[in-house]
Amino acid sequence: MEAVPLHIIHLSQDDPKKCTARKLQRLGLAIIHEQIRRPPRRGFLLDPVAGTILGPDDAPSIEQGASIVALDCSWKRLDDSLAQVQRRAPTLEGRTLPVVLAANPVSWGKPGRLSTVEALAVSLVLVDRWGQAEEILRPFSFGEQFLKLNAQPLEAYAGAKTNAELVEIQWEFFDKPE
């Protein structure tokens, strides 16, 4: 099975010392796009407000070469950053992720407050690429902890047959928002 192309639109808004995206690029595990003008042509943009979850229904597009694209930006500037990317990359389909807990040192234990590498790893699990998910997490001190902390939900998510089923499974592990 070929590796899923991983791309990161990097807006240089966070502390470079804590940047998981730059480390992924240095290790040859992802491609960084510094300019929003030249994003990947085809793929799924990880967008926490997309309204459509990434999951098994998207696997055929991934098999045909679609990329997973993360947006590396400050959580404090998320709305503006997403708006910029969506204007310049209209061919990327927005997808959200099911709930998992962050294990990175900045947001440890917070639901959904994932680093770029954590978001990409969850995405890979959802399209049945566990090996690639483990590979990209391996260089990070919190990588193994992320998989342990989320072992049960990730296993359940990986077993979902449809995106709709995946949406329901997450509420078995986490409180559903009102």
* 12 residue type, one letter: S
Does residue 118 lie in a domain region?
yes
Compute the distance between CA of residue 38 and CA of residue 48 in angstroms, rounded to an integer.
22
49 pLDDT exceeds 90? Answer: no
The answer to whether residue 17 is domain-embedded is yes
Mean pLDDT check: name the lowest of 19-33, 35-49, 163-177: 35-49
Predicted pLDDT at 19: 80
Q: Tell me if 14 is assigned to some domain.
A: yes
* SS3 readout for 45-76: EECCCCCCECCHHHHHHHHCCCEEEEEECCHH
Domain count, the chain: 1
Examine residue 175 and state whether it is found in any structural domain, yes or no.
no
Contacts of 38 (CB under 8 A, 6+ apart): none
Q: What is the pTM of this model?
A: 0.90
Instruction: Say if 57 falls within a structural domain.
Output: yes
pLDDT at 12: 64
16: pLDDT strictly greater than 70: no
Place of tokens 């793929």: 43
Count, in order, helices (H) and strands (E) of the chain.
Answer: 8, 5
Structural domain includes residue 176: no
Instruction: Decide if 34 is inside a domain.
Output: yes
Give the pLDDT mean for 57-86. Answer: 80
Enclosing domain of residue 134: 6-170
Residue 144 placed within a domain: yes
Alpha carbon distance 159, 132 (integer Å): 17
